């Protein structure tokens, strides 16, 4: 790959006693690419994202961000380094407006805490940043609406806006299409294609149609082990993937 490597793992493992949630996984993630991560439940996908964002410490192995070791730093330091993370379940403040949600997230960049009761201009930098990120996910018209009142698909868009508000260079997205209908999924898919021009995106997703469409590279995990990383076509045609993950015979097509 010609693009810059911005995040890398070497022999990354996470064990709990005799359980090997992730075992000896080495991967490279490139700038301005979507790198899909797929595998059955329990394959180690969320464990991988949790280590890449500092939520879990590896049992062994190393994580590099732009060539520097980061596997021993705290989660907030990952955020400050530009590694943003979303989760499987919507992680928003339902009683705040969409703009206020983004302001809370943007404050991580500027330090201190966001004061909802201050004068209009005192949080100008934070508010401007929050509005810009609502625009990036096509939610600017919903800025003053309570997060609880927008659709589920829009809530997922809002969560991505909140990640963008932390000024990341890397987006770790854990099943952003989960629970969506067809039209909502198409909107998020379109959004992720736009974001790829500016970010390295590591995408965990069970929607195979979407992840095949989106991914520049695709990694398959199974029982904590790394089966293959390659293009979508390489993964589709790999016999181990067909048998171990997708559950079809060699003559079947994916």
CATH code of 203's domain: 3.40.50.300
135 & 115 share domain? yes
* Domain end marker among 167, 188, 220: 167
Q: How confident is the model at residue 121 (pLDDT cuts 50, 70, 90)?
A: very low
CB 161 within 8 A of CB 133: yes
95 & 134 share domain? yes
Closest CA to 207 of 181, 231, 238: 181
* Average pLDDT for 16-43: 95
CB 143 within 8 A of CB 98: yes
Query: Residues of 188-213 as b/e, b for ≥16 C-beta within 10 angstroms?
Result: bbebbeebbeebbbbbbbebeebbbe
More confident residue, 214 or 115: 214
pLDDT of residue 234: 95
pLDDT tens, 155-178?
999 999 999 998 999 999 999 998
Measured CA to CA, the distance from residue 114 to residue 128 in angstroms comes to 13
47 & 151 share domain? no
Is the pLDDT score of 21 beyond 90? yes
185 & 67 share domain? yes
Is the pLDDT score of 119 beyond 60? no
pLDDT tens, 171-223?
999 999 988 888 889 999 999 999 999 999 999 999 999 999 999 999 999 99
| Secondary structure class of 75 (helix, strand, coil) | helix
Q: How confident is the model at residue 111 (pLDDT cuts 50, 70, 90)?
A: low
pLDDT of residue 20: 94
Counting residues of the chain whose pLDDT is more than 90, the rounded percentage is 69
pLDDT of residue 3: 77
pLDDT of residue 91: 84
Note down the domain range covering 22.
1-82+169-254
CB atoms within 10 A of CB 144: 9
What domain count does the chain have? Answer: 2
191 & 148 share domain? no
18 & 60 share domain? yes
162 & 175 share domain? no
pLDDT tens, 237-253?
998 888 766 555 544 44
Is the pLDDT score of 110 beyond 80? no
* Average pLDDT for 125-141: 92
Q: Model pTM? A: 0.89
* Average pLDDT for 121-132: 79
Closest CA to 158 of 201, 116, 102, 89: 102
* Domain end marker among 146, 167, 188: 167
Closest CA to 226 of 64, 37, 30: 37
22 & 49 share domain? yes
Is the pLDDT score of 1 beyond 80? no
Mind spelling out the 3-state secondary structure of 97-130? EHHHHHHHHHHHHHCCCCCCCCCCCCCHHHHHHH
7 & 71 share domain? yes
Is the pLDDT score of 49 beyond 60? yes
Q: How confident is the model at residue 113 (pLDDT cuts 50, 70, 90)?
A: low
* Domain end marker among 103, 133, 167: 167
116 & 140 share domain? yes
1 & 48 share domain? yes
CB 56 within 8 A of CB 50: yes
Cα 106 vs. chain centroid, distance in angstroms?
17
* Average pLDDT for 130-143: 94
150 & 178 share domain? no
């Amino acid at each position: 790959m010609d693009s810059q490597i911005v995040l890398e793992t070497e022999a990354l493992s996470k064990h709990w006693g005799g359980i090997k949630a992730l075992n000896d996984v080495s991967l490279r993630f490139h700038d301005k690419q979507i790198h899909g991560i797929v595998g059955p439940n329990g394959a180690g996908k969320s464990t991988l994202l949790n280590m890449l964002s500092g939520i879990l410490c590896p049992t062994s192995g190393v994580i590099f961000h732009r060539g520097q070791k980061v596997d021993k730093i705290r989660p907030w330091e990952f955020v400050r380094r530009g590694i943003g993370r979303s989760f499987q379940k919507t992680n928003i403040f339902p009683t705040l407006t969409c703009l206020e949600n983004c302001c809370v997230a943007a404050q991580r960049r500027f330090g201190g805490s966001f004061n909802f009761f201050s004068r209009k201009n005192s949080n100008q930098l934070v508010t401007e940043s929050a509005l810009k990120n609502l625009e990036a996910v096509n939610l600017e018209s919903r800025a003053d609406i309570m997060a609880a009142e927008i659709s589920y698909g829009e809530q997922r868009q809002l969560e991505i806006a909140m990640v963008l508000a932390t000024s990341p260079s890397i987006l770790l997205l854990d099943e952003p299409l989960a629970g969506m209908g067809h039209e909502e999924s198409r909107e998020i898919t379109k959004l992720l294609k736009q974001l790829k021009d500016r970010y390295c995106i590591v995408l965990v997703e069970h929607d195979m149609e979407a992840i095949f469409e989106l991914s520049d590279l695709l990694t398959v995990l199974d029982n904590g082990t790394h089966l293959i990383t390659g293009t979508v076509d390489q993964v589709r045609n790999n016999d181990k993937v067909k048998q171990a993950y997708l559950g079809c015979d060699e003559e079947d097509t994916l």
